[in-house]
Amino acid sequence: MKKTVAIDGPAGAGKSTVAKLAAKKLGYIYIDTGAMYRAAAWKMLESGAEPTDENIVGVAEKLDVSLRFAGDSVRVFADDTDVTEAIRTPEVTALVSKVAQIGPVRTKMVQLQRKMAKDGGVVMDGRDIASNVLPNADVKIYLTASIEERALRRWKEMKAKGYEEPMEALKDEIAARDKADSERSISPLVRVPEATLLDTTGMTIEEVVRTVMELCGEGQ
């Protein structure tokens, strides 16, 4: 029987990378919920309007977010526009936490996410997958790492894309994101009691994926 796998954790913990690789090994569909909220943030920025809660809701309600598979990669579409790379800019990153805190936006995205996962065989990552989106998931994992480690990973990722940001600024940004995600009133970032805690500080991606596979009852 195909399982549903929920991976939660803070910003920069490596959830997307690990979930994507694990899904490939399992033969499952990978669902990047963070990318869906990023698509809404991107659409808000593209509109040119002030990103007030009211404007964000107005944009999100009209937005069709979809994940389409192209070979081994997952492409993110906002309406008919491929925004896979565009949603990873610093501007989108700065806005996405605010977007994700708004109730009507979360309601819409959660409906889409549950629909994608209804037949099982999915690995879904985000902030509230085990606690809210897929509370009956077969496997629940809380993936984390130290702020220093997460900042270093984010720095390398951004540098590879041509962005230069001071390490201390990234640490501050991640700490602020953790606080915002954990303290928001709607579906905050939380580790449910039954989720396995996986601290990836000092681990390679291969080691983390291997551990996730073992938690899913699968060997390499």
Contacts within 8 Å (CB) and 24+ apart, 170-178: 171/147, 173/93, 174/10, 174/11, 174/12, 174/147, 174/150, 175/147, 177/10, 177/11, 177/97, 178/10, 178/11, 178/147
Residues 54-71 have a mean pLDDT of 90
Please give the mean pLDDT across all residues of the chain.
92
The full set of domain ranges for the chain reads 4-215
Residues 92-118 have a mean pLDDT of 92
Could you report the per-residue pLDDT of 121-172, keeping only the tens digit for each? Answer: 999 999 899 999 999 999 999 999 999 999 998 899 888 888 888 999 999 9
Please give the DSSP secondary-structure letter assigned to residue 127: S
> CB burial class (10 A; 0-12, 13-18, 19+) of residue 163?
middle
- In percent, the amount of the chain with pLDDT more than 70 equals 98
Query: Residue 69: beta bridge partners?
Result: 74
Could you report the per-residue pLDDT of 159-205, keeping only the tens digit for each? Answer: 888 888 899 999 999 999 899 889 988 888 999 999 999 999 999 99
Record the tokens describing residue 123, joined without a space. Answer: 């690995």
Look up the CATH number of domain 4-215: 3.40.50.300
Can you give the length of the chain in residues?
Answer: 220
Looking at residue 219, what is its pLDDT?
A: 61
pTM (2 d.p.)? 0.80
Q: Does residue 220 have a pLDDT over 60? A: no
H/E element holding 78? strand 73-78
Contacts within 8 Å (CB) and 24+ apart, 100-104: 100/37, 100/127, 100/181, 100/184, 101/180, 101/184, 101/185, 101/186, 102/53, 102/56, 102/57, 102/60, 102/186, 103/186, 104/57, 104/60, 104/61
At 73, is the pLDDT very low, low, confident or very high (cuts 50, 70, 90)?
Answer: confident
Sheet of strand 73-78, all strands in order from the earlier edge strand to the far edge: 65-70, 73-78, 81-82
Record the tokens describing residue 29, joined without a space. Answer: 């569909």
Please give the DSSP secondary-structure letter assigned to residue 218: -
